[in-house]
Every structure is written in C-alpha cells, then in structure tokens.
Amino acid sequence: MPANDLQPALPALSPMTAALRSALFCLAVGATGASPALRAQTATAEPQAATTATTAATLPAVTVTAAAEPSGELPQPYAGGQTARGGRLGLLGNRDVMDTPFATTNYTAQRLEDQQAVTLAEVLGSDPSTRFTGQIGGVTDSFMIRGFPINEGNLSEVAFDGVYGVSPNYHLFTEYIERVEVLKGPAAMLYGMSPNSGVGGVVNLVPKRAGATDLTRFTLDYTSDAQVGGAVDLSRRFGEGKEWGIRFNGLHRQGPTPLDHQKSRAEVAALSLDYRGERLRASLDLIEQYQWTDAPTRPFLVASGVQVPAAPDGRRNVSQPWGWWKSNDISTLLRVEYDVADNVTVFADAGGTRSDVARLSDQTPTILNAAGDTSSAMQRWRFQINRSSFDTGVRAKFDTGPVRHALALQANLYSDRIANANVSGTPVQSNIYAPVARPEQSIAAPRFVPKVSDSTLSGVALIDTLSAMDDRVALTLGLRYQNVESNNYVAATGAKSAAYEESAVTPLAGIVFKPWRNVSLYANYVEGLSKGDIAPATASNAGQVFAPYKTKQQEVGVKIDSGALIATLAAFRMTKPSGQLYGTAYAVDSEQRNQGLELTVSGEVLKRVRLLGGVTLLDAELTKTNSAATQGNRPVGVPNVMANLGAEWDLPWLQGLTLTGAVNYTGKAYVNQANTQSVPAWTTFDFGARYRTRVAGKATTFRASVINAFDRRYWSGVASFGTVSLGAPRTVLASMTVDF
C-alpha cells in the first residue's frame, strides 16, 4: 500500500518524530565529527541498550527514593549481565531482589540486546512463568502470567517507570527499554488497579536515560525473510556536575517478514531528559512510535465441536494480502522529586498516551472443520485511545527504637477513553494449510469515531517496611483504597448504556528473613483487583452493580544468591472470583484457582557458562462454576508445565566469541471450559552466537541466531477468551552494533 494511503492521524513520519531525529542526529554528528556518508546512515541505524552507558550517578545518602527513581543508580547485574540484582516495586521504589517478599525477575538492556528482541513479546517469551498469547505478525503483545491474562484488549497493562497509562498501547519496542521487570502475582497495592483488570502479575518498563559515559551507537539488523532495520542510541551528560542528561533512541525498520505476503514497517523516536541536582531530581520521557503492517495476522477461534487441527507451517498466513494495520502512539511522562529533609522526599508524576489505530483486516478467523477451512469477517476499523495518569506522595525514613521504617504515602488518578467504529465488508473463506487470496474489497472508512467507554481509577495507598536485626528481618504492611468508575456508551447516540462505580480496599503483607547473608526466606499475602460486573438485562437483578473482584494470593519462597548466580523457588496459590448467571439471577459465586511451584535461575554456574530460565508447574482448576460439565475443569489457556532454559558459553580459545542456545517447553492447554478442545504441548530450540571485537578501533558486536531452529509447527498459545495463535516459523536474526 502506498504511503499516501495512510490516515491523516497516522503519518509515515510525524513532525515530532522527524524533529527529534533531526535534533539528535545533529548532536551525534557534532560529537563524533562523522563523515557525510556516515551522517547519511544515521537515519536508519538501530539503537541497542548499553548497560554501561546507563549507570547513573549514585544518590546522596540522604535520599529516600531508591535506584529506580530518575536520579538513581541502576542495580548491578548478575554475572553475564542478563538480569539485574534489583528492580522497582511500584510504591516501594527500588529494592534488591534478596530484600523483596515477592518472586521477581529483572531483565537488563544487555539481555534484550543479545537476544535481538524486537518487542516485549520476545523478552517475556523466555520467562518460565509467562507465555505470549498474541499472534506472531499480529497487532498486540498479550501474555499470561501464572495462568492469568495480562495486556489483552485495547488498554495496555504494562507499566512505564512504575506508572500505568504511559506505555505505548499495543506493541512495545525494546529500543527505549533499559530494564523489563516482572513481578509475579497480583500487585494492586503497589501499582494500583491494572487498567484492564489483570491480576497475574505486573510488567514494568524502565526507560533508558543518560549515563555517566557518553554513548554514540549505531546498529544494523536483519530478520528473515528480508526485513532490514537500523537505529541510533545517543547519550550525553552536560553541566558542571553533569547534572543535565539527554538520551535519544531512534529506529527505522521495514521489509517482508517470515510470514507469507506480509510486510511491516516500524519507526520509533524516544527522547529522555533528566536533571540530577543535590535535592531536586526530574525527568521527562517522550516516545513516539509508528507501525504499518500489510496482511496482519489474527488469532483463530475454533468452532464448537471441532477438534483443533494440527498446526500448519508457521509461514502460512490466512490474512488477505490487501489487508493492513497502522498505529501511532505518542507517550509522555514527567517525574519530579525533591528532598525536603535528609529523610523525607516528596514526588509527583504526570503522563499519558494517545493511540490512533486504523485497520482493514480479517476479524478473528474461525476454524470450521478438521480440514482447516476458515471464515473471516472483513472489517475496516478506526480506534482512538487516550490514557492519562497522575500521582503524588511522600517517602520518609525514620527509626522507632531498634526498628527502622521506610514509609510511603501516595494518591493516584488514572483515566482512559476509548472511541472506535467499524464498517463491515463481505466475509471471506480460506484455509490454514493452503490460504486463498480473495478479491480485494473496497470498504469505506468510518466517517466518525464515537466514544464507546471511559473509566477512572483513583486511590490512596499507605505502606511501611519495618526492618530490624541489622535488616535481617523486614516486614512490609500496606493498604490501598481504590475507587473504580466506568461508563459504556451507545455509539449512535452517545447515551450511557451502562454505568459502574464501586470501591475496595486491598491489603499487602510481606516478610523477608535472612538466616544467612546469601539466603532469603519470604512470604506474602497480596490481593489484586478486577472491575466487578453489572448484571445483564436478561437477569432478574438486571443492572445490579457488583463490587470489584479480589484475587487473593498466598506465597512462600526461598532465594539463594551465590554472588554470580541467583535461584528462586516459590510456592503460590491464587484464587480469582467471577460472576455467572444462575437461573434468572446473576451472582458472584464462580472461582478459578491457580496454584503451583516456580523455580527460576540466572547467572554463572561454571566459569564462562551462564544459565537463564526455570520451570513453572501449574495446578489450575475451575473450583466453582454453574455447570456440572465445567466444575473442576482446567481453565482456558493454562498449561500444566512451562519451562525455559537458555545457556551461554564464552569460548576460551577465542576471546569475544559466545555461543548461545535455548529450549522452550509449554504443556497442553485447553481452548474451552468444557475441556473438549485443546492444543498439544510443544518444544522449540534456539541457537546463536555473538562476537565482540574491535573494527577500525571501534567496539563492534556481531550477533546471529536462529529461532525455532528445527522449524517446529505448533500452536503457541491460547488466550483467555479461547483464541489460538500459530507459533513462529524458523527465523534468522542478525545484527551488527558499532560504538563510536
């Protein structure tokens, strides 16, 4: 599709993106004295994360805010640099892994760089507690954590620097990410209620900011079949005390993907400014990303009574070649903190995102029979999604006798607005094994985009960590009051079709005990919140509003840190209630229970040999339902086993050369609550290598890897609403990074 067919709201390169790229390009050229030929290349050079360039100046001892704050020093990584020793825990600020009463994993920029991850999907796909449930070549990054969905739908549930409502809405590119932090289990107390009611865990992105060392980095990358990308990563600090920082990441990538008749294009501009004074610290993050995909894929529904057929070749694409999807996200986050005293810090954040989407595509194709025939509704859509977030609070440290306190008080406000409209075309038929190209349909774009829903989440939270015995024992207690207001609207008239307002209080209790310096025993009780239901019109209690659902988790675990390797073993139990229609009345008396064991490892097990991964064993059950046919069954999309193990080996006879490999396993998962439809277990293998050297005196890294090396055909995941996704085919990745 030619560029002039883009919607006005979705320019090929927006003024903001062009301005940021031009300004930072001039900065790079001025700093490096690059030749005209090199300057011409910077428009298509790819940024890569630099852990050494993002280490910030250490805070004064009086600062209450921890390392994840704008001025803080990033936690040091374990051997090999794949995971960090600490991460942000929402209201608690930054915490060392061994001081945290939760199971967490903090993936570093180096991990993202060496993995050659394009979006968040690749990063979390290697986490043993998390599974990607979106479609390769599709339009969103969605997941399950501990068997509960995250980021499904049209409201992003990924936090950005600890704040909801700021991250780009559908895909999240790795170019501007310094860390991907995964907290397993519900965390409404720490982050507030998730915008789309997710309770399985929290994924938080820490943005790249200028480090103590200047950085000018260019990267070129290649993905089979013929997609080429380039990016730039620039970092500088200014001022007498280097108190001012600026970092820019820019990306342009386009070309054919491994899927049949699919092409994609992505452009990203991310600018981070920060100030680090003696008492005042502030940061401003600006991100704009644009995506355009021809023939975007969609997950499959499976018709009732039909067994899921064997997965086709992952290259097969039933989407019509003339379909397309375009999106533009603009995100902003301003953070300020000030030390009013040596032990008291006040803080405030304000940010938001605007997302514009247009698409002409197959709407969730349905598999009709064992032969793999499909039927899809062709629709042309327009979406406008606005989200905003504000919070303010205070952190303080003080002692009461032998007990130390770290107290935090916060008030927050989140809001979103969704507007959409669509025009339908004629349904098309195809086949998953032999896709059929149908004649192109001319479907007019919707004339206007009415508001269909809005919501406001507001709350107040108070939390205190009490530590004693030289910090060998730490008890964390907290409460959050959360108010939820939500409205749905009739598109044609704008009148409210449903209104919801309820509130709830969620507690948190966590304890860490260190019998030895390198061993932590921990336990927690936490609750998550999901918006309650409104009884449907068919119920005798139609219109009744139910309080937010509370997902409850109990967890115990042990963490062992050898200095080069960390291992976490956790046992958890989570129960999530829901509502169903019983006879004529709608009641909240259904329940899903997920319990299991989780083992994760990261770091160096032998000299020059590093591991990253683990295994999760899940016992999931529908403990309460309104049907004997589903009582006691396994929930949709929850496998009984998930395992990942990645390994790296630095060859001793050739300095700078590292061989890599990974094995990924997911057990059988059901597609429906009756447990009559399922996708089988699958295993894939990845292999790769990287070589760090110097070329013409410049630090240079070459990387190459093969994903799904044996070209396994498999259904990779099942979303909570029963759609299945096709696994990626064998894919070759290659890149070259140069530091100037």
Q: Which residues contact 569 (CB under 8 A, 6 or more apart)?
A: 557, 558, 559, 597, 598, 599
User: Is the pLDDT reported for residue 420 higher than 60?
Assistant: yes
DSSP-derived secondary structure for 489-510: E-TTT--EEEEEEEEEEEEEEE
Residue 74: pLDDT band with limits 50, 70, 90: low
What percentage of the chain carries pLDDT values higher than 70?
A: 90
pLDDT tens for 114-138 read 999 999 999 999 899 999 998 888 8
pLDDT tens for 701-710 read 999 999 999 9
pLDDT tens for 667-725 read 999 999 999 999 999 999 999 999 999 999 999 999 999 999 999 999 998 999 899 99
**By mean pLDDT, which of 66-75, 90-99, 530-539, 614-623 is the weakest?**
66-75
Strand 104-108 versus strand 301-302 pairing type:
unpaired
- Calculate ∠ Cα 356-357-359, nearest 5°: 160
Query: Mean pLDDT across the stretch 525-539?
Result: 84
pLDDT tens for 488-515 read 999 888 899 888 899 999 999 999 999 9
Residue 547: pLDDT band with limits 50, 70, 90: confident
Query: Mean pLDDT across the stretch 224-242?
Result: 95
Burial 175-202 (b: 16+ CB within 10 A, else e): bbbbbbbbbbbbbbbbbbbbbbbbbbbb
- Calculate ∠ Cα 623-624-630, nearest 5°: 85
The SS3 call for residue 237 is: strand
Residue 3 backbone phi and psi in degrees, to 5:
-65, -30
pLDDT at 7: 40
Q: Which helix (H) or strand (E) holds 18?
A: helix 15-32
pLDDT tens for 575-598 read 999 887 777 788 887 899 999 999
pLDDT at 535: 79
pLDDT at 73: 58
Q: Are 195 and 150 spatial neighbours (Cβ–Cβ below 8 Å)?
A: no
Query: Mean pLDDT across the stretch 391-408?
Result: 96
pLDDT at 17: 46
> Which of 155, 90, 164 lies closest to 414, judged by CA?
164
Cα-only R_g, the chain? 25
Q: Are 590 and 578 spatial neighbours (Cβ–Cβ below 8 Å)?
A: yes
Q: How far is CA 161 from the centre of its chain?
A: 12
Tell me which amino acid residue 364 is. Answer: T
pLDDT tens for 370-396 read 999 999 999 999 999 999 999 999 999
- Residue extents of the structural domains in the chain: 3-739
Could you give the CA distance from residue 131 to residue 639 in angstroms, rounded to a whole number? Answer: 10
pLDDT tens for 235-293 read 999 999 999 999 999 999 999 999 999 999 999 999 999 999 999 999 999 999 999 99
Which pair of tokens denotes residue 691? 């070589």
pLDDT at 724: 96
Mean pLDDT of the chain: 89
pLDDT at 37: 33
Query: Regarding the domain delimited by 3-739, which CATH topology (the fold level of the hierarchy) does it fall under?
Result: Maltoporin; Chain A (2.40.170)
User: Is the pLDDT reported for residue 9 higher than 80?
Assistant: no
Residue 98 backbone phi and psi in degrees, to 5:
-75, -15
CA distances from 373 to 60, 614, 719, 726 (A): 65, 38, 21, 15
Q: Give 72 or 74, the one with higher predicted confidence.
A: 74
User: Is the pLDDT reported for residue 2 higher than 80?
Assistant: no
Q: pTM higher than 0.75 for the full model? A: yes
267 - beta bridge partners? 252, 290
User: Is the pLDDT reported for residue 51 higher than 70?
Assistant: no
Query: Mean pLDDT across the stretch 289-298?
Result: 95
Could you give the CA distance from residue 412 to residue 344 in angstroms, rounded to a whole number? Answer: 19
